[in-house]
Amino acid sequence: MLEKKYEYSITKEKLVERIVDDENIHLNHMVLTKGTSLPEHYSNSNVYMIVIRGTMTLQLNEQGPQQYAKGNIVNISYNTKMNVYNQGDEVLEFFVVKSPNPKNYKE
């Protein structure tokens, strides 16, 4: 078999799961229910957030909150302060792609 298969959970509950962590990328799958958020943190690589369900409220550094709906892909540069929230009524689901993998990141 030439390909490698990965699976992610199908849920309406809050979830943070690591899908891929190899020499190329770091890929996470996240689900946030109404009113939940991720802890404030700084990006540790180039980050791409792919919204597949709901609306993400995202605050970066000191700028005001921005909203991104399903179908949006948001690119965030290295060492950016991030706050990610679900302030909408619908479940928020998104993938986070970090490339290069943070363990291989060189400034």
3-state secondary structure of 90: coil
pLDDT for residue 107 is more than 70: no
The structure's pTM equals: 0.93
Residues 52-67 pLDDT 10s: 999 999 999 999 999 9
At residue 100 the predicted structure's pLDDT band, cuts being 50, 70 and 90, is confident
Q: 15-104: which CATH architecture? A: Sandwich (2.60)
**In the chain, what are the domain boundaries?**
15-104
CA angle, corner 41, sides to 38 and 46, nearest 5? 105
pLDDT for residue 20 is more than 80: yes
